[in-house]
Structures are given as C-alpha cells and as structure tokens.
Amino acid sequence: MKIPIKEAIQQRPLLGDGAMGTQLMIAGLEQGACGEEWNLAHPDRVLAIQRRYAEAGSDCILTNTFGGSRIMLNRHGNADNVVAINTAGVDIVREAFKSAGREGYVIGDIGPFGGLMEPYGEFTEEQVRNAFIEQAKALVDAGADAIIIETQTGLEELGLGIAAAKEAGAACIIGSMAYDVTLDGSTFRTMMGIDPERAAEFMEERGAHIVALNCGTGMDMPRATEAIRRYKAATGLPVMAQPNAGQPKLVDMKVTYDETPQQMGRGGVPLIEAGCNIIGACCGSTPDHIRAFRAAMDEHAGVASA
Ligand SMILES: [Zn+2]
C-alpha cells in the first residue's frame, strides 16, 4: 500500500509530469478540438503519453481532464460525458503507472471553466460551483489521490474549485496559480492581479493542502523558484511548481518552447533547495524534460544523503 501523497511529500520531493496539451497536439489533436474526449475515443494515445512520463520517472501524473468540467465539455457537445471522461482520465493514469512498472499518484486535474461569471460574463456562480463539484466527484470516485485546481488567475474561481474538491472528499487539494511577469520585469502576478502571498494566504484559509503555480508568461525556472520562496515565506503548507519549458516561439508555423531538458533540469536543483515539494512542468515540456528533472532530483538526493 502506498502512503498518502500528503505524507509522501514530507519524506522527499516528488516528481510531477510534463505537458499534456502540447503532447496531444504532437499526437495529432487538432487546434481547438476536445483533448479530453480522447480519454474515450483514443485512450491508447493518452496512455502512450502518460506512460512515457511514468517511464521518465514521474511520481505524480495529472489526469487528462483539464477541460473536463461540464461547462468546458459542453462547448464540444460532450456535456453528457462528464463522468465517463473524468473516470477514464483516472483509469488511464493508473494504467500508465502499471505498464511502466512504477507506483505513483493520480492527480485529478481541474482547469478553469473558461469563461467569466456574472456580472462580467454569462455564467452564474451556481453553474460554475455545480460544474466543479460534478467533475471533482467523478475524479475522486474514480480513485484520484489528489485534486489540482490549476491555471487559476482569480480567487473567486479558485475558491469554488477548492470547495468542490472538499465536497467531493478529496484526500489532498492543490491550488495552482498562473502568474505573468509584469511588463517592467520587476515582479509577477496573475492576470487578475493576485500575488503569491495573497494566493497562499487564501488557499490556506480555504483549506487547500498544497500551494502551487503552473504555466504563466515569462515564468522561467528562476522565477518559479522565486515564487516558491515567496510561497514559503507566506505559508507553512507544502508547495509545488510546474513552470512552462521557457517561452513559446513560432518556428515553421509550429509553436515550440525554447528551454531544453538540460536547461530545465539544471533549474530543478535550486527549486528543490528552495523547498519545493512537487516539481513538474507545464506547456512545451516533454518526457525528456521530466527525465532531466529526475536525474537532477536523484543526484541532489544522493548528495544530500551522502
Ligand atoms: Zn501551461
């Protein structure tokens, strides 16, 4: 029996996974199509991506359910498949660990609902709350070890996500913010103006267990490390980082990211030394980036115990 994720991160830092969206594109998903639908239509392709992460050394893998809320799925005519898509998402991660011969944690992924709430937008708070509760329940019922509410920019939506995960009975709840470096480069905050200190305080107050950051603009490894330091100064909760693989660049009409696995791997050590409990990566990262993190983490653990 594996120990709960909350206990595991007290013993050693865990390695997360890399990008899903950009990997699905490489596997043939069309721009704007429903990647979560592949959990039912092409589970083999989703499994192949996640197995590569498990083989690269991931201890935790996020389910392919970023857009798996009713509101997001409804845009693709998949509102009737909320439970099936989220359940399959958990099953596929479990299968990925099994086929790689590795034990690991399934993190149920909930991304933004992709719109605005009243009075600025068309969705009521009730609709968003219900959509998050439905998705969180499907993920927890299928056996997810944790729930991550990720790529969040405002506290209102984050709060609804955390409450939904709580209501679903999630054993571990992770809140993850997307920060953008300001134009003058002096600091970073979310699109809605939230800084790491405020986010950390809010998450602690609402009962999240892990305070995280992912994605964002200009949030390279040193910036992610700075965010982790600021989180740790603001809260006693464990922390997690999933930065992008550098900046997106258009090369031959294809979006590529400019940070190599070696560069990212080197940035992993300062992140561990800053006290990061789970290290993963977001857009543009690949199984090679995760393998580079694994090597850096194992080497660091060896040095630390030597
Ligand atoms: Zn991203």
Q: What is the mean pLDDT of residues 268-291?
A: 97
Distance 215 CA to ligand 1 centre (A): 4
- The three-class DSSP label of residue 97 is helix
- What residues contact residue 122 under an 8 Å CB cut-off, 6+ apart? 115, 116
pLDDT of residue 306: 62
Q: What is the mean pLDDT of residues 63-76?
A: 98
pLDDT of residue 212: 98
Distance 305 CA to ligand 1 centre (A): 33
Distance 117 CA to ligand 1 centre (A): 23
What is the pTM assigned to this prediction?
0.97
Distance 150 CA to ligand 1 centre (A): 10
Mean pLDDT lowest among 21-25, 160-164, 195-199? 21-25
Q: What is the mean pLDDT of residues 166-189?
A: 97
- The DSSP code for 185 is S
Distance 153 CA to ligand 1 centre (A): 13
Q: Count Cβ atoms within 10 A of the Cβ of residue 167 and give its class: 0-12 exposed, 13-18 middle, 19 or more buried.
A: middle
pLDDT of residue 291: 98
Residues in the chain: 306
Distance 242 CA to ligand 1 centre (A): 8
Q: Is the pLDDT of residue 167 over 70?
A: yes
Q: If you average pLDDT over every residue of the chain, what do you get?
A: 96
**Banded pLDDT at 116 (limits 50, 70, 90):** very high
Q: Is the pLDDT of residue 92 over 70?
A: yes
Q: Is the pLDDT of residue 176 over 80?
A: yes
As a whole-number percent, the residues of the chain with pLDDT over 90 amount to 93
Closest by CA to 68, choosing from 19, 153, 135, is 135
Distance 151 CA to ligand 1 centre (A): 8
Distance 216 CA to ligand 1 centre (A): 7
**Banded pLDDT at 264 (limits 50, 70, 90):** very high
Distance 1 CA to ligand 1 centre (A): 32
Closest by CA to 9, choosing from 184, 246, 303, 239, is 239
**Banded pLDDT at 256 (limits 50, 70, 90):** confident
Q: What is the mean pLDDT of residues 72-96?
A: 98
Distance 246 CA to ligand 1 centre (A): 10
**Banded pLDDT at 124 (limits 50, 70, 90):** very high
Q: Is the pLDDT of residue 294 over 70?
A: yes
Q: What is the mean pLDDT of residues 166-186?
A: 97
pLDDT of residue 252: 84
Give the whole-angstrom CA distance, residue 220 versus residue 244: 7
Q: Is the pLDDT of residue 142 over 90?
A: yes
Distance 20 CA to ligand 1 centre (A): 9
Q: Count Cβ atoms within 10 A of the Cβ of residue 114 and give its class: 0-12 exposed, 13-18 middle, 19 or more buried.
A: exposed
- What residues contact residue 157 under an 8 Å CB cut-off, 6+ apart? 112, 113, 117, 128
